[in-house]
Structure 1
């Protein structure tokens, strides 16, 4: 056996007691190889990338972010005129990598299938490059992937089976040359989706009402209801002559049977015509009584919906004197002569149906229009309802829409408001006009709603009357485009507001012992409205979907992603938007006890407004 040279021993000890340095060197060399291939061997002219060399720590390099354990988590190389290729063999050997962004460069080639080895990858941004070829099937095996941006490239071929990624939140692939059918994603989970201006064909999948035609335009081969193009019928198999003869015989028998059924039906109708004649006359009388505008509007807007018991009993009541006296007109001089029959006779238009009732627009000959809220399934006595309406009427604020009149019977409750022709906050955000809904307007709307709600909470706290159903569709814009809270107090709250992060609810006994709970529920719903103003997205499922998405983005430190792109394009202050987002998150606290009261919310929002206005004040001579 040969003796071991003396120089081997120090090296062995060095490797034995310094294994981490060896691992760090591997990661460092891997990143340098990746960058060399991505930049086509050319170091960017941007001086901020000084430091990408073998003699420094990768965590100090520009574009690299590490966690507290000095593991590389994010590689962000954007807007650097990089013109090489994506070396997934190198970058995916960095096992701790979660975010890879190389957007806004000139990278060419394809995405190698070895992207599969980036197993912890959650965000992949390759948009605005010159990539080509197919998207590899291995992308669908990145189970942690949440956002995939590949738009503005030259990708072609069919999409991989991306719906297999259960946690995918965003997929943007517009402006490519992709073909085939659009797979059925889980559109309930997606918050961003766009495949416009490709070469997709076939039926449009069910988008769950989350995305419109803008996410599909530029694909002439698509068909279906959403793109208003009929899909061709499936190609049928060739039928043999014998089979065709059998089908003809069966068709003939079917028509004969159908004719026999019609003959029996008309015979039955003639025999019993005399017996049913009296019932028909009675039905016509009831129909004449029922021919009131509110009921007629209800039928014409939803003819398949049977008339409810409350609709029938209200219209068919013969006690007209009682009905006239039951319509209580509050302090509104223009409406002091309003009668219940006036509401029934005037033309009416159904504006919408909700969980708690219907909303009608009632139009009078003198040009006055009213909005009538018809409430259902509210077990409150007429006496208590009348007392509640009068109490609400005593609390007046310019940002709360006053009640003009109300009607209350045992089975019928109506609340009348002045009609606001400028629509609601919901319609502004829904109508695609968010680009004209500027930051200062949104901040002003948030402040006005908070002030109105704070005033009502203060005035009605002792009576225990909260809003009960606060949402953006109940924020109406008056003639000056100032927000007004509508339908205040038309629904009592008897259960906790849903928690956005799975907070355990208290028992019913505990809830009943908390007189302030309904007001805390209003604060939660106001937080959802703030999220809608900030994100430009509309809440569904009681605001839980939007709240969950925002909480997820904030936890991952991708807060800027939640803001409406129209606000970002406008150049709104990111600092102010983050401040308002923090107010929203406080309102959405899972624990009702930890939510701020409305006075505190007003103070926080007005502080942001003052900071927003400060530069213009300082700049004045």
Structure 2
């Protein structure tokens, strides 16, 4: 029921009726009037609830060509409740009993999309935050009524038959974080104001027929961005190195960096004139804002001056000269405070970020890194890192990542760790133990540097990206990520992680942050675990995501992280931190005995072994068990996965002629 979000907070009763209630002479007619009024209010509330049910039923009926009652959505009926009745694909807010998310992906829907049936019903429009319709055969387009669903954060419509132009009202979804319209038949220009959605982190529009110029997004915000294989034209926006070239391929009329095609001079001049006009408007607006700010500042200074005069006279009258001297002293101190060092770098590292002087405190040589044995680097110096051009790849809660390019063409990655309360001696011992526990599928540091303030690690740069990008369509390996490859990746990672756990068990060094973005692909497109042992796990933080893990081994948390990677390999879905948790969603689907619905449709279409996929899914569910004690060890996991791989390889070879 939708009682909490639908009922008014207060039932207003006229003052006259209240006074009659308090009177001892209240007659029967008054009582009946009050009862009838309450009945009407309750009926109105019920009608709002019925309106939401009716809207959802009509929405799924139109999506399924009126065949919803014979399929997965037979439970969607007016005699049950969307939240209490566990309607297929409906996720509710348990506190307010309102519909929050609709997961209708991979549901064999072949009808027409009508978002107005959802967004024109106010209680539903005010609560709906996620709409997933990907991997169906839905036709139609996105109507302007989408703007009424202002709470939408996730809108996924990929792999359908949707067409038409995108409405300008799409840009009014200010809370939108992920928009996926890829692999459809959309035409026309992108809404010009789409770039104003400040929280947009995922935008996928590849494989459509979109035209016009690409809006000037803030590309530094994007985790995933892809507009390849459309009909975009004109000069490229300045992506500032945040988006790779492959995200714009397949648009023959696009030109400019980072694409190899240069723009004609006439097109550049036209674009420059347009930018100048926009700059003039921006400058005019900016000037007005500056004048307004200066006016407020002058008023503030006058007001402050008056206060200071009043304070001075009062203090002089009371002969508190010492107090005046203290104020002057404070002012002098403020004036002499140094400005904070900038943390943004266009080229090279800054001594304000990496302190050379701090090396002496750790008894290390100030001009050298500690270079570990290996063929990658030889006699690498600390000063070389400071002088070489450096590209900022990312900045997170626990540190920053830089790509360093040397004159001889060598590419390295430097990981700067911050906020880790570990002594230099302990850090050195830890790195030496990690170097001793080698495995071909675990990236080894080639050098490291530690002092009281700074801790740096140097790795060889991997050009083929991460498993995250390969899984979700942004990889550039030249190969389709088929079932055999996914099973091989799972086996390689499990063996490498089991080896590291066994070697480092007595040292208590687990990975601590295992996820698909930390699985990199080497030159042979083989998976390598990166950043092993570079994080001390915060149990209090993890408990909110993985259940109550306080007091349990970090190795079991690695098992959980590996289980989530298995679920990504099997489902092809992203792990949404702000949306529904992938492990929870898979568990809910399996409980409803719709196990086959969790698998990536591309795997089923290539006739992958459904029996092996189900077996691997069972392994994954054991790994993500909410109780750490119930999870298997990584050695047990590796044995189970290798057994499945051997059986799969055996059955494949027996089918070959």
TM > 0.5: yes
- 344, 347, 369: which is aligned to 2:386? 344
- 497, 514, 525: which is aligned to 2:561? 525
Q: In the alignment, which residue of structure 2 is the partner of 1:536?
A: 572
Q: In the alignment, which residue of structure 1 is the partner of 2:193?
A: 224
The alignment partner of 2:392 has SS state of strand
Q: In the alignment, which residue of structure 1 is the partner of 2:646?
A: 610
Q: In the alignment, which residue of structure 1 is the partner of 2:53?
A: none
The alignment partner of 1:422 has SS state of coil
Partners of 2:72 and 2:375 lie apart in 1 by: 65
Partners of 2:373 and 2:415 lie apart in 1 by: 18
The alignment partner of 1:359 has SS state of strand
CA shift for structure 1 position 336: 3.2
Q: In the alignment, which residue of structure 2 is the partner of 1:463?
A: 507
Per-residue CA distance 1:402-457 (angstroms, 9 max, x = gap): 11111000010001111111111122124445981111111111111111110010
**Structure 1 stretches of 5 or more lacking a match?**
1-83, 102-113, 126-139, 232-250, 266-278
Per-residue CA distance 1:209-239 (angstroms, 9 max, x = gap): 33334288447685532595699xxxxxxxx
Q: What's the C-alpha RMSD, in Å, of the aligned pairs?
A: 4.7
Q: In the alignment, which residue of structure 2 is the partner of 1:159?
A: 117
Matching of residue 403 in structure 1 with residue 360 in structure 2? no
Aligned ranges 1:323-402 → 2 under 5 Å: 323-324=365-366, 327-402=369-444
Partners of 2:578 and 2:72 lie apart in 1 by: 32
CA shift for structure 1 position 376: 0.6
- Structure 1 residues 178 and 380: alpha-carbon distance in aligned structure 2, compared to 1, 3 A threshold: closer
Tell whether the 8 Å contact from 1:476 to 1:483 is kept in structure 2 after alignment: yes
| Worse overlay, 587-596 or 154-163 | 154-163
CA shift for structure 1 position 188: 5.1
The alignment partner of 1:399 has SS state of coil
- 602, 614, 621: which is aligned to 1:578? 614
Per-residue CA distance 1:503-562 (angstroms, 9 max, x = gap): 4x26x5xx1xx5xx0111111111111111112222243997111111121112222222
The alignment partner of 1:519 has SS state of helix
Q: In the alignment, which residue of structure 2 is the partner of 1:488?
A: 532
CA shift for structure 1 position 396: 0.8
Q: In the alignment, which residue of structure 1 is the partner of 2:25?
A: none
Per-residue CA distance 1:117-170 (angstroms, 9 max, x = gap): 565472499xxxxxxxxxxxxxx9999975386964456683333546759763
CA shift for structure 1 position 389: 0.5
Aligned ranges 1:50-449 → 2 under 5 Å: 86=66, 99-100=73-74, 116-117=78-79, 119=81, 120=85, 122-123=87-88, 147=104, 152-153=110-111, 158-161=116-119, 162-163=124-125, 170-171=132-133, 174-176=138-140, 179-182=143-146, 183-184=148-149, 187=152, 196-198=162-164, 201-204=167-170, 205-206=173-174, 208-214=176-182, 217-218=186-187, 222-225=191-194, 228=214, 258=294, 298-300=344-346, 311-312=352-353, 314=355, 322-324=364-366, 327-433=369-475, 436-449=480-493
Partners of 1:159 and 1:195 lie apart in 2 by: 19
Matching of residue 546 in structure 1 with residue 582 in structure 2? yes
- Structure 1 residues 116 and 454: alpha-carbon distance in aligned structure 2, compared to 1, 3 A threshold: same
Partners of 2:65 and 2:543 lie apart in 1 by: 46
Q: How many residues in Structure 1 have an aligned counterpart in Structure 2?
A: 452
So what's the TM-score if we normalise by structure 1?
A: 0.62
So what's the TM-score if we normalise by structure 2?
A: 0.58
- Structure 1 residues 312 and 463: alpha-carbon distance in aligned structure 2, compared to 1, 3 A threshold: same
- Structure 1 residues 372 and 574: alpha-carbon distance in aligned structure 2, compared to 1, 3 A threshold: same
The alignment partner of 1:585 has SS state of helix
Tell whether the 8 Å contact from 1:179 to 1:201 is kept in structure 2 after alignment: yes
Tell whether the 8 Å contact from 1:169 to 1:191 is kept in structure 2 after alignment: yes
- Structure 1 residues 618 and 146: alpha-carbon distance in aligned structure 2, compared to 1, 3 A threshold: closer
CA shift for structure 1 position 500: 9.1
- Which of the pair has more CA radius of gyration? 1
Partners of 1:497 and 1:385 lie apart in 2 by: 23
Per-residue CA distance 1:170-203 (angstroms, 9 max, x = gap): 3468421563231436545777677942566233
- Structure 1 residues 549 and 215: alpha-carbon distance in aligned structure 2, compared to 1, 3 A threshold: farther
Partners of 2:461 and 2:533 lie apart in 1 by: 18
Tell whether the 8 Å contact from 2:403 to 2:411 is kept in structure 1 after alignment: yes
Partners of 2:141 and 2:565 lie apart in 1 by: 39
Partners of 1:400 and 1:200 lie apart in 2 by: 45
CA shift for structure 1 position 614: 1.6
The alignment partner of 1:428 has SS state of helix
CA shift for structure 1 position 375: 0.3
- Structure 1 residues 578 and 219: alpha-carbon distance in aligned structure 2, compared to 1, 3 A threshold: farther
- Structure 1 residues 494 and 317: alpha-carbon distance in aligned structure 2, compared to 1, 3 A threshold: closer
**Structure 2 stretches of 5 or more lacking a match?**
1-63, 91-96, 196-202, 204-213, 218-286, 302-333
Tell whether the 8 Å contact from 2:144 to 2:167 is kept in structure 1 after alignment: yes
The alignment partner of 1:352 has SS state of strand
Tell whether the 8 Å contact from 1:180 to 1:199 is kept in structure 2 after alignment: no
Matching of residue 562 in structure 1 with residue 598 in structure 2? yes
